[in-house]
Amino acid sequence: MIKGRMLIMKKDMKIVIFGAGAIGQSVGGWLAGVHENLYFLDRGEVAKTMKEKGITHFQQGKENEGVHVSVKVISDIKDARDADVIAIGVKTFSLEGVAKMIKDTVGDRPFIVAMQNGVENQVILSKYFSKVIYCVIGYNAWIEKPGVVGYQKKGPLIFGTRNNELMDEMKEIAAVFNRGVETVVVDHLQDAAHSKVIINLTNSLTTLVGLGFKEISDYGYFQKLLSNLLYEGVQIVKAAGYHECKIGGMPPWLLIKLSAMLPQWITRPLFMKNVRKMVMSSMAQDIIQRGGHDSELETINGYIVGLADKHGVKAPYNRAIYELCKREFAGESFTPRDVKDVWKEVQPRLDG
């Protein structure tokens, strides 16, 4: 029996959630009510609020039916030295520093559950740890206010490893997570991760036009931009050799293709139904809500554009939106653009 399995073969594994953003709080909130030996690691006002008020989580449209849970909070990484599992919920742009901190203080003993969008976390974490489980998040969540997190649907979480190692250990950890939220172990991590990256492409455009923060002046342009952004993503990912992995309620690739190719008078009702269900993306939370400059633009949109270049796929929509977001988000103070203005900048690039 390898050392890793000996650590996990225990009834009450200690789980530490590092990072209390929307994903960390939702996953941790679901688990806290069913797993006693769970701790959040955070500092400052976030830690203070969780200690005093716990976490309340609610599903979209059911704000008055929120579930409150008390949680345990630690503020010193040294208190995680005996953790069996550390689930890292920080964004990719903060991951390198967090990984180094954990490695320097805790070492390589615990299993790491990585909860970031994209695939860059596979490059970063593999430099520091030998037992990493990558978790593809199959739902959207947002911070409503300190200590209150909303989510579109409950799960699923998709567990996988780069080379399908640690299968037995993953199943044991997933069994614990399953008590709070649907958690699936797969042997095709890269398909799952890239299928999610396609959906994450929407975050850039919805942030750029301020969906949820300002009125969309023309849904025809918005649908054309969004549908083609996603369909190009499908073509790029397929050209790179990855296959569709159906995750939760995310749209299948065929529907994405039809949305881009069929006349809008056919597809508009379904498109608008899906738009009404959209919640504030993590990118919008970073750029608009918090007024920051760091986002997942490079690790999502930049990655897809790079993949298109590598495999010879034209990607005019993705390239234009990526470059436009890169320019706009870098400004001193970002103000969402009107979708008509965005279209005026994108349209000339489509014939190039």
Examine the domain organization and report whether 172 and 203 are in the same domain: no
**Could you tell me the pTM of the whole model?**
0.93
Q: Tens digits of per-residue pLDDT, 8-37? A: 556 689 999 999 999 999 999 999 999 999
Cα 38 from chain centre: 22
Residue 89 pLDDT more than 60? Answer: yes
CB atoms within 10 A of CB 11: 6
Examine the domain organization and report whether 124 and 199 are in the same domain: no
Examine the domain organization and report whether 264 and 313 are in the same domain: yes
Residue 6 pLDDT more than 50? Answer: no
Domain harbouring 56, CATH code = 3.40.50.720
Examine the domain organization and report whether 148 and 282 are in the same domain: no
Which of 156, 187, 218 is the last residue before a domain boundary? 187
Examine the domain organization and report whether 219 and 331 are in the same domain: yes
Section 250-260 average pLDDT:
94
What three-state secondary structure class fits 77?
helix
Which of 187, 216, 247 is the last residue before a domain boundary? 187
Domain limits for position 255: 194-351
Examine the domain organization and report whether 13 and 159 are in the same domain: yes
Residue 7 pLDDT more than 70? Answer: no
Domain harbouring 267, CATH code = 1.10.1040.10
DSSP 11-43: TT--EEEE--SHHHHHHHHHHHTT-SSEEEE--
What three-state secondary structure class fits 221?
helix
Specify the number of domains making up the chain.
2
Residue 5 pLDDT more than 90? Answer: no
How much is the mean pLDDT over the chain? 92
Lowest mean pLDDT: which of 45-49, 162-166, 194-198? 45-49
Q: Tens digits of per-residue pLDDT, 131-175? A: 999 999 999 999 988 889 999 999 999 999 999 999 999 999 999
Percent of the chain exceeding pLDDT 70 equals 97
Q: Give the model's pLDDT for residue 1.
A: 36
